[in-house]
Amino acid sequence: MAKYKKKRVRELRHDRFRDAAMTVLDRLGDRLEGRGKPVLYVLAGAVAIGIAIWIGVWHYHKRSEEARQALGLAIKIATAQVSATPAASPTGPTFTSEQDRAQHAIVEFQKVAAKYGDPYRTEARYFVATSLLYIDRDRATRELAELSNSRFSEVATLARFALAQAKEADAKYGEAEQLYNDLAKQNSAVVTSETANLRLALVYQKQGKKKEASDILFRIVDSARKAKGPDGTPLPQSAAARGAAQELQKLDPERYEQLTPESPADVPAF
């Protein structure tokens, strides 16, 4: 019943729009009587185009909202709690394993990809690929490699970063290094150069390249501590810069002591 009411409201809205349009046409017809039908036809065509555009915009926004809601539901499943003894949760479903959660998430993301157009289809494909990392890593890395060339820059960057992390986890350090280097040069808003360089330093650590890792970590932290805004006040440090400081302190305490001191605003309160 509720669905019928909503449908009927939409129909009535369309009827009112049509009636208003016809009233305008009638008035124009009276005013232009004797001036030739071609003028009236042109005006009628303009009004018809206006109606079509209005309907198209309304449908586009409605469809976009549906796609966002469906994608949000799938993301909620993909980030749900994993517990050996799942219990009812007011915040959403829980799963017994990451593989179980990934399977359910993939189903929902595939629904979005099948039903909606871009950018939602490509975003859903990215989430399918990252979920596949728990189930079929070879297929996941192939999908991520393909998505890293997407025309949607944010998805392409995120796919490249996820692929780099997968390569790092699989001890394919050379491939991971290249990907992190590319991301650092790109310096995207979704994966900053600080974040990419931090991961690159961790890859160097795993390869036993202490000096290379220490150099990168030092540059990240020192640059962050020296950065100032237009008014000359120190800029707040990012999570990546703070993580780099912690890694450098563990890896090379002597180098850590050479850093520019933190500004008072960046020193955490206890």
The DSSP annotation for 10-77 comes to HHHHHHHHHHHHHHHHHHHHHHTTTS-HHHHHHHHHHHHHHHHHHHHHHHHHHHHHHHHHHHHHHHHH
Q: Please indicate, yes or no, if residue 63 is contained in any of the structural domains.
A: no
Other Cβ atoms within 10 Å of 220 Cβ, number: 27
Torsion of CA 82, 88, 91, 92, to 10 degrees: 70
Quote the pLDDT of residue 84.
Answer: 80
Q: What is the DSSP letter of 171?
A: T
Quote the pLDDT of residue 45.
Answer: 47
pLDDT tens per residue across span 143-201? 999 999 999 999 999 999 999 999 999 999 999 999 999 999 999 999 999 999 999 99
Q: Please indicate, yes or no, if residue 245 is contained in any of the structural domains.
A: no
Residue 22 structural domain: 1-58
The C-alpha atoms of residue 243 and residue 235 are separated, in whole angstroms, by 16
Closest to 248 (Cα-Cα) out of 228, 221, 224:
221
Closest to 197 (Cα-Cα) out of 246, 244, 254:
244
User: What whole-number percentage of the chain has pLDDT above 70?
Assistant: 72
To which H or E segment does residue 101 belong? helix 98-115
pLDDT tens per residue across span 53-77? 544 454 456 778 888 899 889 999 9
Closest to 74 (Cα-Cα) out of 115, 13, 24:
115
B/e letters for 133-151, b = 16+ CB within 10 Å, e = fewer, are bbeeeeebbebbeebbebe
Helix then strand then coil, in percent of the chain rounded to 5, is 75, 0, 25
pTM recorded for the entire structure: 0.74
Q: Please indicate, yes or no, if residue 142 is contained in any of the structural domains.
A: no
Q: Please indicate, yes or no, if residue 43 is contained in any of the structural domains.
A: yes
Q: Please indicate, yes or no, if residue 212 is contained in any of the structural domains.
A: no
Q: Which residue has the higher pLDDT, 34 or 261?
A: 261
Quote the pLDDT of residue 90.
Answer: 63
Quote the pLDDT of residue 262.
Answer: 84
Average pLDDT of span 95-117: 94
Phi-psi region of 208 (alpha: psi -120 to 50; beta: other; left: phi over 0): left
Q: Please indicate, yes or no, if residue 244 is contained in any of the structural domains.
A: no
Domain count, the chain: 1
Average pLDDT of span 214-237: 94
Q: Please indicate, yes or no, if residue 38 is contained in any of the structural domains.
A: yes
Quote the pLDDT of residue 83.
Answer: 85
Q: Please indicate, yes or no, if residue 89 is contained in any of the structural domains.
A: no
**Is pLDDT of 270 > 70?**
no
Quote the pLDDT of residue 130.
Answer: 94
Q: Which two tokens stand for residue 78?
A: 């993909």
Q: Which two tokens stand for residue 182?
A: 């590319």
